[in-house]
Structure 1
């Protein structure tokens, strides 16, 4: 049973935090193999260290994210153009109905309305930027050779301890059974 050198980064609850395998500080970041054979706690700062691990980049996912961002920009631009056309239509209708004084008031009020509308998209853009920065963090890693060998060694040692515990349990059961020992000869010569 071989252990693949592909590790997925996961987060656990704060109450489940354990010590990092390298620096022993409490952490909620865990590296897990895809088939969940092995896992260990590691600080997020160690994941950025080149000598510890390197991220495995999924090119298809990156291309899909870029395409989605482009599509979102196109949709946002189309919405903005549509809103501007609607505003111009409303202005034209109001200008036909009202006097020139009303036109001046609407011109003064529209920049204020635009100023009020503009912060909302900026806030959304900031939130979107935060989401993309979190999504851009690598989620799949490959350990460097020495750390991977350490994980393999720990895994083998754990299996060996388990096998020895089973063997000692079997030996205790055998020794507790009186029929295991040879009987004393009964013939008197």
Structure 2
């Protein structure tokens, strides 16, 4: 079973020997399904000859349908208000031409102000908090080849141990 050269930095509870310098460390690099893991010092993680960090590309925030509908609704409301303002301006021009009573104008303006709904404060939509992700690393190709070889040897040893009882034993008689 092969594994990819993608390791996640994890912190363990008990310190074990570093893969490179054998000093006790709690920093561990492990594959996603923990097929392979190795303990390493944090200083080795900064060394390009051992491992290099993989930078994640920032994901574009997905736009929800609710947000689209909300923005569309707000835009339609603005267009309606704009149309109403234009109509009001036309009415005011006509009123100025006809010269009506000032009291009537005041009453109508007050009614229009009362009829317009109060503006609702816009709620700021904050993006959902991103889950804390572990740092990702890719081992140097030589180190990764060593890890694969070691993993292959362990697997072959386990397979040989399983198959050994199935084979017949060597002859025990004397040579004649």
TM-score norm. by structure 1 comes to 0.48
1:84-163 alignment, distance < 5 Å: 139-163=135-159
> Which residues of structure 1 form unaligned runs of 5+?
65-134, 176-189
Which residue does 1:167 correspond to in 2? 163
Q: Which digits, 9 at most, give the CA deviation of each residue in 1:1-51, with x for residues without a partner? A: 3210000000001xx211011100111011001122111111111001011
Instruction: Verify: 1:9 aligned to 2:24, yes or no.
Output: no
Give CA deviations for 1:143-185 in whole Å, capped at 9, x if unaligned.
11100100100010000110111122334xx65xxxxxxxxxx
Give the root-mean-square deviation of aligned CA atoms.
2.2
Q: Any gaps of 5 or more consecutive residues in structure 2?
A: 62-131, 170-176
Structure exhibiting the larger radius of gyration computed from Cα positions = 2
Describe the SS at the equivalent of 2:143. Answer: helix
Q: Distance in 2 between matches of 1:169 and 1:45?
A: 46
State the match for 1:46 in structure 2.
Answer: 44
SS of the equivalent of 1:166 reads helix
Number of residues of Structure 1 aligned to a counterpart in Structure 2: 99
The residue correspondences of 1:28-39 to structure 2 (distance < 5 A) are 28-39=26-37
SS at match of 1:161: helix
Give 1 or 2: higher helix fraction: 1
